[in-house]
Chains A and B, each alone.
Chain A
């Protein structure tokens, strides 16, 4: 393989993260992500997948390590003074969608979408609303523009959450088990929206337990367990014929449960 000519989109180096002295969650992660990649992260419960995404989003402090985005360092800690430096300007290029929607319940759908553009980027309300309605239409939600989150189904809420993140034109999207709180019949509509983004070459990092979805969306799969990367490769390898014993056990178990 030849070395990539462009700098990696994301480079994590020696990420360490613990919750108190007893719970070591990330034990020195080194992950590089190239532009245009769609990285699916799989692994056993408690393996630190959510923690990894939360660290990338700047929601958690780290003990040691650094992350660069587009060549620019934006999260770092030298492990000495327990301080995590976060460059919020760079972080704004990253969008995240959570498992439990986290829409703002007191704002209607359009208000949820335009809050950040208007308050952070000082976009005119009319412009932001126009963009919001455009996005909602694309996601089949035009009729729900004035609805409140509580009046939406889980699948609709999750699509609104994705649209809300997209309003800020992210250069990378993080999805943390965005379909696992949904009723089975609602999973497809959300996955369709993410596949639609994939078709437009949006770089993304996805944590999921849905192996069908993983196979369909991934350009690369990482199996994380015990706070380290156990296996890393194309989806056919990691999901189809894993090299590592632990990956194989996990894949067997997950597929077994799914049947």
Chain B
């Protein structure tokens, strides 16, 4: 069969719109998910048994089930239970935020734990009040240490976001599938769509090692 990649050009605008939706969705869920993940990471190291139990159940549940099921459950079951309509954008955002929250909470938990007890000793010896210990000493080190893994988490989210096409959100994957069905040119279209995902994800994964080499090595954190 003859391949004709130029047909892609006819659907440039549609693909760009899909890409924009994917990026928007990823960005929203990165921000919401990281915030959630940080709080859950704190909760999992908290002294309250209750907080630890709730946060652990949440994390283990979301890490132990397919994202597609989570998405379907929120799209189909949650409206039934709550008795409200959820737009597919809203259910996509909720599902991916919960997913991102679960995986980043592990990242934050590990990085919080990696700030050694001797750092706290130094804080006490310098008479730093608790608030300053957390804000000026522990948090910055935990966040810096978390950055490489957080970036990988973002790449995962970006890729997993393609699942929202299954509930009819017009993201890059959805648009690609549509075009491929309508033109009967799956090889060209799906290859190009895959390439678009790759071209965006790849620099991010490279950035991880760059940051590890440059910043973290300089600080030896």
Chain A contact residues, CB within 8 Å of chain B: 54, 57-59, 88, 91-92, 95-96, 98, 100, 102-106, 115-116, 119-120, 148-151, 164-165, 168
- Taken together as a complex, chains A and B put the C-alpha atoms of A103 and B141 apart, in Å, by 12
A-B contacts, CB under 8 A, total: 68
- Given A149-B220, A151-B218, check contact A102 B128 (CB 8 Å): no
> Least Cβ distance of B32 to chain A in Å?
26
Stretch among B10-18, B98-106, B119-127, B148-156 lining the A interface: B119-127
- Taken together as a complex, chains A and B put the C-alpha atoms of A110 and B218 apart, in Å, by 16
> Least Cβ distance of B81 to chain A in Å?
45
- Given A102-B118, A105-B221, A150-B218, check contact A59 B124 (CB 8 Å): yes
Chain B contact residues, CB within 8 Å of chain A: 118-119, 121-122, 124-129, 132, 136-137, 140-141, 144, 217-221
From DSSP, what is the main secondary structure of chain B's interface residues? helix
A120, B141: Cβ atoms under 8 Å? no
User: Could you say which residues of chain B place their CB within 8 Å of the CB of A120?
Assistant: 126-129, 132
A106, B141: Cβ atoms under 8 Å? yes
B137, A104: Cβ atoms under 8 Å? yes
User: Could you say which residues of chain B place their CB within 8 Å of the CB of A116?
Assistant: 126-128
B122, A102: Cβ atoms under 8 Å? yes
User: Could you say which residues of chain A place their CB within 8 Å of the CB of B132?
Assistant: 115, 119-120
User: Could you say which residues of chain A place their CB within 8 Å of the CB of B127?
Assistant: 88, 91-92, 116, 120, 168
B121, A98: Cβ atoms under 8 Å? yes
Nearest neighbor of B143 in chain A, beta-carbon distance: A106
A119, B118: Cβ atoms under 8 Å? no
- Taken together as a complex, chains A and B put the C-alpha atoms of A57 and B136 apart, in Å, by 21
User: Could you say which residues of chain B place their CB within 8 Å of the CB of A103?
Assistant: 122
- Taken together as a complex, chains A and B put the C-alpha atoms of A160 and B173 apart, in Å, by 55
- Taken together as a complex, chains A and B put the C-alpha atoms of A106 and B219 apart, in Å, by 6
B122, A104: Cβ atoms under 8 Å? yes
- Taken together as a complex, chains A and B put the C-alpha atoms of A149 and B137 apart, in Å, by 14
- Taken together as a complex, chains A and B put the C-alpha atoms of A151 and B140 apart, in Å, by 19
> Least Cβ distance of A147 to chain B in Å?
10
- Taken together as a complex, chains A and B put the C-alpha atoms of A105 and B138 apart, in Å, by 11
B218, A148: Cβ atoms under 8 Å? yes
- Given A105-B219, A106-B219, check contact A164 B126 (CB 8 Å): yes
A59, B126: Cβ atoms under 8 Å? no
A165, B126: Cβ atoms under 8 Å? yes
User: Could you say which residues of chain A place their CB within 8 Å of the CB of B119?
Assistant: 102, 104
- Taken together as a complex, chains A and B put the C-alpha atoms of A164 and B123 apart, in Å, by 11
B219, A57: Cβ atoms under 8 Å? no
Residue contacts A-B, CB under 8 angstroms, 12 given: A91-B127, A96-B125, A100-B118, A102-B119, A102-B121, A105-B219, A105-B221, A115-B128, A120-B126, A148-B218, A149-B220, A150-B220
Nearest neighbor of A120 in chain B, beta-carbon distance: B127
B129, A106: Cβ atoms under 8 Å? no
**Smallest CB-CB A-B distances: 3 pairs:** A150-B220, A102-B122, A116-B126
A57, B124: Cβ atoms under 8 Å? yes
Most chain B CB inside 10 Å of its own CB: which residue of A57, A59, A102, A149: A102
User: Could you say which residues of chain B place their CB within 8 Å of the CB of A58?
Assistant: 124
Nearest neighbor of B118 in chain A, beta-carbon distance: A102
B122, A98: Cβ atoms under 8 Å? yes
7 additional contacts, CB 8 Å, given A102-B122, A105-B219, A120-B126?
A54-B121, A59-B125, A96-B125, A98-B118, A104-B122, A116-B126, A150-B220
Most chain A CB inside 10 Å of its own CB: which residue of B125, B126, B132, B137: B125
Nearest neighbor of B135 in chain A, beta-carbon distance: A119
B141, A105: Cβ atoms under 8 Å? yes
A106, B221: Cβ atoms under 8 Å? yes
> Least Cβ distance of B43 to chain A in Å?
24
> Least Cβ distance of A46 to chain B in Å?
19
- Taken together as a complex, chains A and B put the C-alpha atoms of A104 and B144 apart, in Å, by 13
